[in-house]
């Protein structure tokens, strides 16, 4: 068995599923389940496609880094399908294509192939977002996404003209052996960074996020904010660690952009009064933070932070979007006291938000703690200060929201959450606590991830 | 004010690109690309897996990749996986157009324009010619410029001509859907068969034949014809969606 | 300079002028036509740079299909406008 | 020369996207940007006096100089992706029109 099936089987199912509309959602669930099960049977290594060796043909890379990503993303994708099953029916084929695209993004070891998969998953995402029925927002998303991927392609082509290959590891090899200076490479890298940054929600390229996530229903919210965001962050991580050679000046520009992203995201989250907007601005800040960690070389813990974000954003956006769908409003003041009627949902939401802001006992705390330790080792006190400060800000606005939502009020609105979402969010919340207290698993995974890139660096 | 800012931004960006590309030793000047350093050198010589020596048109056989058109060799063989992704992009956008423009459409869009006799007859005659050209281009993609994508688009263009020639014409959308689905599935299945027989996805399982002959290059002509059919049916669907509206 | 260099310059200048006209023209249908002719110019550019495959594809898809899609959108919209 | 024209086209397209407020014009600017990008990609592989990368009976040795075929293959992919995005954008534009009755983003009411 070869890991290319993770991409080929969803595609095959997508092509077949347009023949029968009733069959499509069933096929989607089956294929998604097949992917989760089959991941555990593939052997690690490089998979060549078409029988041509790495720099000439396209190759997929299945190492511990992409394996962790695949497991997390495929499971999260499946859970989102379960949560929003009645929304899924109309866009089942699109979701099959999206699944293939996301797996392709995580697996591919070729920069142009990555562009193709960005477009595949991107167009699927535009279509998923049309279920919001906010066409202007979708249009903005489409335009900005296309400009982003064009920038990525422009950077990639300049890089190809200089180096003469499209394969990631071969490119890193040739850059070091031909001695191309980092200054010469900063222009293509800047363009590729901007292009990917649009998809990864980094300021100041994120104006699409508010229209899409601020109006999200229970399919769009978790899908874009958790599954897509996690995938793009991991792709970013791979490119930053194994392809980019960052010169000092470029590094400074990128760090400044990202720091502005963090600060602006947290400020807007602090100022907002709508539940979904608070969450989306906070996730903008989180995305920038993750990229900074990849840039600083704290790869292992950055991956853990991506996973923590995938889990907690899935819980938060699922609950927030479900609630806003039911009540047709997401002003925090109008939602007062809903958790006092729905304790399970409330507890899960609380755990997830506290984990994001980094309180002890939860996964977010462990991750942030270790990240801070490595930053202090590197003596980068400014960054550490920013992370600490934003954690406090996050804590403040999340606690403010939580107090309002838990506020005991007699006339609080009642919502019937269906049992699927209840089970899923509580299992995920328990998972956050488990990872937060039993840290050996995380430490092991961090080591395996770091090993992948140390080997890659020595070649 | 906003326009002025945009002007400044684009001017700055353009200047940045031009100046840094000009001062860049690693970036080749226009017309001076050194192909010997790039991976495409191996695509031209066909020596990725083994060195075949001089490739002679019409004589050399059993190459790792058979098309005389090197671009086709890359699109449909060396980087066939990209092409699968690209077909998927077109597939999902055609699907999206159908989703967005509604499915319960009955009526043709009324255009203030009625074809006269000459246009009707002429279009029907041209329809055949364009259709044949499209199919020819798809089949000969490994020998001459063109291939599945322009060929498929030409097939769709011939359909478009029928739409324009006849006020009440509607293509059989259901038939296109089946064609699209079968062509796409076969592409993936060819890949999976390659995985089972040849050990890697989309490997060329057939004999590549003599370079330059019509029946050469193994699976590539088959793949290109499938792409042509799929692209043709998808774009015809898109055109049909743009040209119909809801109504009795 | 050889003849081909002059052709290159003419094509390049025409491309820029047509793009400028397409962006700045007031009428949408005229803008679409400028886009179509610009695409046709780019086909000449592709031929000059020895890319026949790309030229064929751009000629069929870029200037043919994309233009027709734009025109159909505008036509359907004009009809809705008449009704109101 | 054509390379500079391609860069100018990319920037013109970007300028159009940033300044235009009409949905159709924005899609049009995207198309201009894509054409510029495609020209740029091809120009990167151009070799003066190179021949088109197709083998024929007239050219029978390996010693001939071809232009780089890989960028051409990439552009084929990019063109098809471009037409997909354009079709989707126009479909969304049609939906926007039937909802708001206008293509101008500024004339649509905020929700």
Average pLDDT over residues A62-67: 87
Nearest to A285 by CA among A363, A391, A374, A189: A391
> B135: which 2 tokens?
């199919």
Measured between beta carbons, which residues in chain B are less than 8 angstroms from residue A3? Answer: none
Tell me the chain B residues in contact with residue A14 when contact means C-beta distances shorter than 8 Å: 88, 91-92, 184
| Residues A208-222: tens digit of each pLDDT | 777 777 777 778 888
What does the alpha-carbon distance between residue B140 and residue B135 come to, in Å, rounded to a whole number? 9
The tokens describing A1, both together, are: 């068995």
Q: Which residue has the higher pLDDT, D57 or C68?
A: C68
In a domain, D56, yes or no: no
Chain A residues lying within 8 Å of B184, measured CB to CB: 11, 14-15
Residue with the larger pLDDT of the pair A243 and B174: A243
Q: Residue range C25-37: average pLDDT?
A: 89
Which domain range does residue D14 map to?
A: 2-48+65-105
Kindly tell me if the per-residue pLDDT of C84 is higher than 60.
no
Note whether residue D54 is domain-resident. no
Q: Quick one: pLDDT at residue D33?
A: 92
**pLDDT 10s digits, D68-83:** 888 888 998 899 899 9
C neighbours by CB contacts (3+ pairs under 8 Å): B, D
D101: three-class secondary structure by DSSP: coil
The boundaries of the domain holding residue C7 are 3-83
Query: Residue B40 has what pLDDT?
Result: 79
Is the predicted pLDDT of residue A458 greater than 70, yes or no?
A: no
- Closest residue of B to A142, CA-based? B93
**CA distances (Å), A418 to each of A216, A413, A425, D92, in order?**
19, 16, 11, 33
Q: Residue with structure tokens 């019509």?
A: B214
Q: Which of residues 22-51 of D touch C (CB under 8 A)?
A: 22, 24-25, 27-29, 31-32, 35-36, 38-39, 42-43, 46, 50-51
C-alpha to C-alpha distance for B107 and B243, rounded to whole angstroms: 9
| pLDDT band, very low/low/confident/very high, at C73 (cuts 50, 70, 90) | confident
As a whole number of angstroms, the distance between CA A222 and CA A224 comes to 6
pLDDT band at A377 (very low <50, low <70, confident <90, very high): confident
Query: pLDDT digit string (tens) for D54-69?
Result: 777 665 555 677 888 8
Is the reported ipTM for this assembly greater than 0.85? yes
Domain count, chain D: 1
Mean of pLDDT values over A53-61: 82
Q: Is D19 on the interface with B (CB under 8 A)?
A: yes
pLDDT at position A457 over 50: no
Percent of chain A with pLDDT over 90: 7
Give the integer Cα–Cα distance in Å for C54 and D46.
Answer: 13
Contact between residue A171 and residue A236 where contact means Cβ atoms under 8 Å apart: no
Q: Given an 8 Å threshold on Cβ–Cβ distance, is A139 in contact with D93?
A: yes
Average pLDDT over residues A441-447: 81
The verdict on a CB contact (< 8 Å) between D91 and B241 is: yes
pLDDT digit string, tens, across residues B108-135: 666 666 667 887 788 888 888 888 888 8
The verdict on a CB contact (< 8 Å) between A142 and D88 is yes
Name the residue facing D90 among C19, C42, C73 (closest C-beta).
Answer: C73
Is the separation of the CB atoms in D17 and D26 below 8 Å? yes
- Tell me if B109 and C59 make a contact (CB, 8 A cut-off): no
- How confident is residue A456, by pLDDT bands cut at 50, 70 and 90? very low
Residues in chain C within 8 Å Cβ distance of B109: 72, 75-76, 79
Mutation to test the D interface, candidates A125, A136, A167, most D Cβ within 10 Å: A136
- Residue A374: pLDDT above 80? yes
State how many domains chain C has: 1
Contact (Cβ atoms closer than 8 angstroms) between residue A353 and residue A261: no
Give yes or no for a contact between B67 and D61, defined as CB atoms under 8 angstroms apart.
no
User: What is the model's pLDDT at position D29?
Assistant: 92
Environment class of residue B41 by beta-carbon count within 10 Å: exposed (0-12), middle (13-18) or buried (19+)?
middle
Residues of chain D neighbouring A123 (CB-CB closer than 8 A): 84-85, 88
- C44-67 residue pLDDT tens: 989 888 888 889 888 888 888 899
User: How high does pLDDT run on average in chain A?
Assistant: 84
Consecutive H or E run containing B108: strand B107-108
Judged by CB atoms closer than 8 Å, whether chains meet at D26 and A143 is answered as yes
Is the CB of residue A261 less than 8 Å from the CB of residue A288?
A: yes
Q: Does D58 map to a domain?
A: no
Q: What per-residue confidence (pLDDT) applies to D60? A: 54
Which has the closest alpha carbon to A10: A30, A150, A247? A30
Check which CATH number belongs to the domain holding D99 and give it: 1.10.287.3510
pLDDT (0 to 100) of residue D35? 92
Using a CB–CB cutoff of 8 Å, tell me whether B88 touches chain A.
yes
Measured CA to CA, the distance from residue A404 to residue A389 in angstroms comes to: 23
What per-residue confidence (pLDDT) applies to B112?
A: 63
Q: Which residues of chain B have pLDDT under 50?
A: 248
pLDDT at C83: 42
Residues of B in contact with D53 (CB under 8 A): 44, 69-71
| Percent of chain B whose pLDDT exceeds 70 | 84
C53 interfaces chain B, CB cutoff of 8 Å: yes
* Contact criterion met (CB < 8 Å) for D66 and B70: yes
**Inter-chain Cβ pairs, chain B and chain C, closer than 8 A:** 50
Are B235 and C72 a contacting pair at CB < 8 A? Answer: no
CA A329, A332, A334, A339 torsion-angle sign? positive
pLDDT of A148 strictly over 60:
yes
Q: What is the mean pLDDT of residues A303-312?
A: 89
Q: Using CB atoms, which residue from D70, D80, D88 is nearest to B74?
A: D70
- Interface contact flag, B157 C59, Cβ < 8 Å: no
Contact (CB<8Å) D46/B33: yes
State the pairing for strand pair B107-108/B244-245: antiparallel
pLDDT at C4 over 80: no
For chains B and D, count residue pairs whose Cβ atoms are closer than 8 Å: 148
Residue in A314, A334, A315, A312 with CA at minimum distance from that of residue A324? A334
Arithmetic mean of pLDDT, A378-394: 83
- Is D64 in the B-facing interface, judged by CB distances under 8 Å? no
Indicate the helix (H) or strand (E) that contains A47. Answer: strand A45-48
Q: Could you tell me the pLDDT band of residue A150, with boundaries at 50, 70 and 90? A: very high
Per the structure, the count of domains in chain A is 1
CB proximity under 8 Å: B 155-184 to D: none
The least confident of A28-32, A99-103, A354-358 is: A354-358
- Chain D partners of A127 at a C-beta cutoff of 8 Å? 88
Using left for φ > 0, alpha for ψ between -120 and 50, and beta otherwise, residue A278 falls in alpha
d(CA A273, CA A270): 8
Quick check: D87 and B14 CB within 8 A?
A: no
Cβ separation C69–B157 shorter than 8 A: no
Task: Dig out the tokens for D84 from the structure.
Answer: 């997909």
For C56, nearest residue in chain D (alpha carbons): D76
Indicate the range of B25-29, D19-23, D107-111 predicted with least confidence: D107-111
Residue among B35, B210, B243 with most chain D CBs within 10 A, to mutate? B35
Q: Any chain D CB within 8 A of the CB of A119?
A: yes
């Amino acid at each position: 068995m070869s890991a290319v099936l993770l991409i080929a089987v969803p595609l095959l199912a997508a092509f077949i599923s347009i023949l029968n509309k009733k069959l499509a959602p069933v096929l989607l669930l089956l294929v998604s389940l097949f992917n989760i099960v089959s991941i555990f049977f593939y052997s690690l290594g490089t998979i060549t496609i078409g029988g041509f060796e790495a720099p000439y043909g396209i190759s997929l890379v299945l190492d511990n880094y992409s394996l962790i990503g695949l497991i997390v993303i495929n499971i999260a994708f499946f859970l989102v399908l379960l949560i929003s099953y009645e929304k899924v029916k109309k866009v089942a084929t699109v979701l099959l294509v999206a699944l293939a695209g996301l797996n392709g993004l995580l697996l591919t070891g070729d920069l142009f192939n990555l562009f193709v998969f960005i477009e595949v998953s991107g167009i699927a995402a535009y279509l998923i977002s049309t279920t919001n029925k906010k066409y202007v927002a979708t249009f903005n998303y489409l335009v900005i996404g296309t400009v982003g991927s064009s920038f990525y392609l422009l950077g990639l082509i300049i890089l190809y003209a200089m180096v003469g290959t499209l394969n990631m590891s071969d490119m890193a090899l040739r850059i070091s052996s031909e001695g191309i200076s980092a200054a010469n490479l900063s222009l293509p890298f800047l363009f590729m960074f901007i292009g990917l940054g649009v998809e990864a929600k980094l300021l100041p390229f994120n104006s699409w996020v508010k229209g899409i996530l601020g109006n999200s229903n229970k399919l769009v919210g978790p899908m874009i904010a958790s599954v897509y965001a996690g995938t793009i962050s991991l792709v970013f991580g791979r490119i930053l660690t194994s392809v980019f050679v960052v010169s000092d000046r470029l590094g400074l520009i990128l760090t400044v952009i990202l720091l502005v992203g963090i600060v602006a995201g947290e400020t807007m989250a602090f100022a907002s009064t709508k539940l979904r907007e608070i969450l989306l601005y906070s996730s903008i800040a989180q995305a920038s933070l993750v990229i900074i960690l990849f840039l600083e070389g704290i790869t292992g813990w950055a991956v853990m932070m991506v996973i923590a974000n995938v889990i907690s954003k899935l819980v938060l956006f699922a609950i927030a979007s479900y609630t806003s769908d039911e009540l047709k409003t997401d002003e925090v003041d109008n939602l007062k006291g809903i958790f006092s009627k729905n304790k399970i949902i409330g507890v899960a939401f609380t755990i997830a938000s506290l984990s994001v802001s980094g309180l002890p006992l939860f996964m977010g705390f462990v991750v942030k703690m270790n990240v801070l330790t490595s930053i202090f080792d590197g003596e980068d006190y400014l960054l550490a200060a920013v992370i600490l400060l934003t954690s406090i800000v996050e804590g403040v606005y999340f606690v403010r929201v939580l107090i309002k939502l838990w506020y005991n009020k007699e006339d609080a609105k009642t919502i019937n959450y269906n049992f699927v979402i209840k089970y899923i969010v509580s299992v995920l919340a328990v998972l956050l606590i488990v990872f937060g207290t039993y840290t050996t698993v995380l430490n092991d995974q961090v080591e395996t991830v770091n090993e992948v890139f140390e080997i890659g660096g020595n070649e | 004010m906003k326009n002025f800012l945009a002007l400044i931004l684009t001017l700055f960006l353009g200047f940045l690109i031009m100046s840094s590309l000009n001062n860049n030793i690693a970036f080749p000047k226009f017309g001076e690309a050194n192909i010997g350093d790039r991976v495409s050198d191996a695509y031209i010589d066909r020596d990725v897996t083994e060195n075949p020596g001089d490739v002679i048109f019409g004589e050399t056989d059993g190459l790792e990749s058979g098309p005389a058109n090197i671009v086709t060799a890359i699109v449909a063989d060396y980087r066939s996986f990209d092409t699968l992704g690209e077909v998927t992009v077109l597939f999902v956008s055609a699907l999206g157009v159908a989703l967005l423009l509604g499915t319960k459409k009955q009526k043709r869009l009324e255009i203030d324009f009625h074809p006269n006799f000459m246009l009707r007859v002429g279009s029907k005659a041209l329809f055949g010619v364009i259709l044949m050209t499209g199919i020819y281009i798809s089949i000969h993609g490994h020998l001459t410029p063109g291939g599945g994508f322009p060929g498929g688009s030409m097939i769709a263009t011939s359909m478009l001509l029928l739409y324009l020639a006849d006020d009440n014409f509607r293509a059989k959308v259901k038939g296109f859907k089946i064609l699209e689905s079968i062509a796409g599935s076969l592409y993936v299945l060819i890949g999976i068969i390659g995985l089972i027989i040849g050990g890697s996805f989309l490997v060329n399982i057939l004999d590549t034949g003599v370079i330059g002959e019509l029946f050469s290059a193994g699976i590539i002509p088959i793949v290109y014809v499938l792409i042509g059919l799929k692209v043709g049916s998808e774009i015809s669907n898109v055109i049909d969606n743009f040209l119909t509206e809801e109504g009795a | 300079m050889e003849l081909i260099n002059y052709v290159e310059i003419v094509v390049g200048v025409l491309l820029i002028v047509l793009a400028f006209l397409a962006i700045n023209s007031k009428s949408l249908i005229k803008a679409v036509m400028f886009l179509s002719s610009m695409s046709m110019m780019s086909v000449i550019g592709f031929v000059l740079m020895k890319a026949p495959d790309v030229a064929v594809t751009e000629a069929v898809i870029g200037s043919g299909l994309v233009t027709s899609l734009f025109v159909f959108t505008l036509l359907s919209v004009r009809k809705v406008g008449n009704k109101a | 020369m054509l390379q500079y024209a391609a860069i100018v086209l990319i920037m013109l397209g970007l300028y159009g996207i940033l300044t235009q407020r009409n949905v159709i014009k924005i899609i049009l600017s995207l198309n201009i940007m894509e054409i510029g990008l495609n020209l740029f990609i091809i120009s990167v592989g151009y070799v003066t006096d190179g021949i088109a990368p197709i083998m024929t009976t007239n050219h029978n040795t390996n010693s001939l100089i071809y232009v780089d075929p890989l960028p051409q293959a990439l552009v084929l992919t990019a063109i098809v992706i471009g037409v997909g995005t354009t079709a989707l954008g126009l479909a969304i534009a049609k939906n926007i029109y039937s909802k708001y009755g206008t293509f101008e983003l500024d004339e649509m009411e905020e929700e």
